[in-house]
Chains A and B, each alone.
Chain A
Amino acid sequence: MVGSPVNDALDLDVSVVQGASGDLVRVTLRGDLDLAVESDLVERVEQLLRPPRPRRVVLDLSGLLFMDSSGLRGVLRCARAAREAEVPLALGVVPGPVTLLLDTAGVTGWFDYE
């Protein structure tokens, strides 16, 4: 487990489960995901997608206290980077501010979920 505060508003914890067919990477976000930290999230996930590529990435958003459309753009950029790297990416969510945003933006069906 490698935890690191992106800034005062967002923490990212990255856990890696090693397996014979590749690593399972879980990125746990806690705090607020908005314009101030969007690019930090994308850069971190792009690093994790570099070779040797993981078998699967989960972005666990269930610990977020807030996410707006800038945060959503960050998540969508992560999903696009994962597609380009041919690594399956899934979201972890619980009902709350994140699902309010996903539903309102009409993108709930754009993602896979764990």
Chain B
Amino acid sequence: MSRRVAAVSESVSIAGVGFSGRPPEPAPPSDALVSFVLDLPGRVSSVAVSRAAISGLRAFLSRPRLQRFELITSEVVTNAVRHGCPDPGDLVRFEVVVRPDTAVASVLDRGQPFHAPVQRPEAGSVEGFGLLVTAELAAWWQVEHTGGGNRVTYAV
């Protein structure tokens, strides 16, 4: 797993990668099939890196769930690198835990607190679909303001 992610982008910092039966730092929840944490640079190429990390979970998730997880991840990480990295060098932390019955991810940024009214864009709009897609495809999702940024958590 670590080799796969590192091969995608050498600039990605792997804060922790874990598999059940081989405790990593930080230790994953005891019932996790797999968990990992990535610190992603606040630039657009990090969106594809986050998707590549999700695609590596194909052994644990059905194809439809993996497809939803990948799409939501792309939406949330895109939002984080566009709006949540105000200073050069800001990182986006991407945390994933897969359990037998659910897959959960959190994306932490350093942006201004944002509120998330989910509205269906009017005909002719070109913007505003990211949160709608997230809300439609996630089993649940939430936005927390951490004091220094936002934490968006979602599950499939």
Interface of A toward B, CB cutoff 8 Å: 9, 32, 34-36, 66, 68-70, 72-73, 76-77, 80, 97, 100-101, 104-107, 110
Contacts and interface: CB of A to CB of B under 8 A. Distances in A.
Contacts of B132: 69, 104-106
Contacts of B44: 34-36
Interface in B12-35: none
Interface secondary structure of A, over-half rule: helix
Interface stretch (B74-82, B103-111, B142-150): B74-82
Nearest to B134: A69
Contacts of B125: 76
B127 A104 contact: no
8 contacts: A9-B48, A35-B44, A68-B47, A73-B129, A76-B126, A100-B67, A100-B71, A106-B132
Nearest to B131: A69
B84 to A, nearest CB: 13
B82 A104 contact: no
Interface of B: 44-45, 47-48, 51, 67, 70-71, 74-75, 78, 81-82, 120, 123-127, 129-130, 132-133, 136-137
A101 B126 contact: no
Contacts of A9: 48
A80 B127 CA distance: 13
Contact of B123 (A35, A77, A110): A110
B126 A105 contact: no
A97 B67 contact: yes
Contact of B120 (A36, A70, A106): A106
Contacts of A107: 129
A68 to B, nearest CB: 4
